[in-house]
Amino acid sequence: MYQLGIVRRNIQRADRAAMDRLAQFGAATVHEAMGRVGLMKPYLRPIYAGAHVAGTAVTVLLHPGDNWMMHVAAEQIREGDVVVAAVTADCTDGFFGDLLATSFRAQGARALVIDAGVRDVRDLTAMGFPVWSKAISAKGTIKATLGSVNVPVVCAGAMVNPGDVIVADDDGVVVVPAALASQTADAAAAREANEAGKRARLAAGVLGLDMYQMRETLANAGLKYVD
């Protein structure tokens, strides 16, 4: 699975048009459109509320307390990428701050998703550089051990291949395999298409029990009403 000491330069990024379409949907919608899979664990939280991004994954594999490979990753970023950083063991250190954010943005990155900690969050917020992380920590890191860039990684419980589409918002982070980007965008669009109508009916007081025709199934399952 993991390969250490490797930087893959030429990765196959997901189709840009499909990614742009996915960018219109929230993480929950995309995750449902995938068949309720592909979600990173909910301990990943945005460092500030309201960010919503989609981008293609550049992956980084780090060791605990060592952010050396973040600099190596910077060179592989292309416009529209989201850097996805995994660590070989649990760690909350601050691997990323305002200098790296400045560099990542200059290379074209839209966001960072990291299964560890970040720092300088006030600066990152002021810059509007969104980060989803496991922790916020001032703890610095060293540069001593090789990891890898653009290898498959497991980040917050989800498998990420370089080039996959990442969709992230206040609800979390979802991974769409590059090969499924277009069909997932279709499914997400179909899902949202009739939500407006449902919302209006529910707002008007129609019950989900009736709108979704659940009463009979519930009765068959044995639901009893008592007074």
Q: Give, as ranges, the residues between 123 and 182 that touch a copy of itself (CB under 8 A).
A: 125, 135-140, 142-146, 152, 154, 157-159, 161, 169-172, 174-175, 177
Stretch that binds a copy of itself, among 15-23, 182-190, 206-214 (CB under 8 A): 206-214
Using the rule CB under 8 A, is 62 a contact of a copy of itself?
no
CA separation for the pair 6, 61 (Å, rounded): 10
Using the rule CB under 8 A, is 190 a contact of a copy of itself?
no
Nearer to a copy of itself, 216 or 222 (CB): 222
**Residue 96 near residue 112 (C-beta atoms within 8 A):** yes
**Residue 117 near residue 95 (C-beta atoms within 8 A):** yes
Tokens of 57: 């994954």
CA separation for the pair 178, 13 (Å, rounded): 7
Judged by CB under 8 A, the residue of 79, 128, 183, 209 near a copy of itself is 209
Using the rule CB under 8 A, is 82 a contact of a copy of itself?
no
Using the rule CB under 8 A, is 193 a contact of a copy of itself?
no
Using the rule CB under 8 A, is 5 a contact of a copy of itself?
yes
**Residue 53 near residue 168 (C-beta atoms within 8 A):** yes
CA separation for the pair 192, 172 (Å, rounded): 18
Give min distance, CB of 3 to a copy of itself, in A. 8
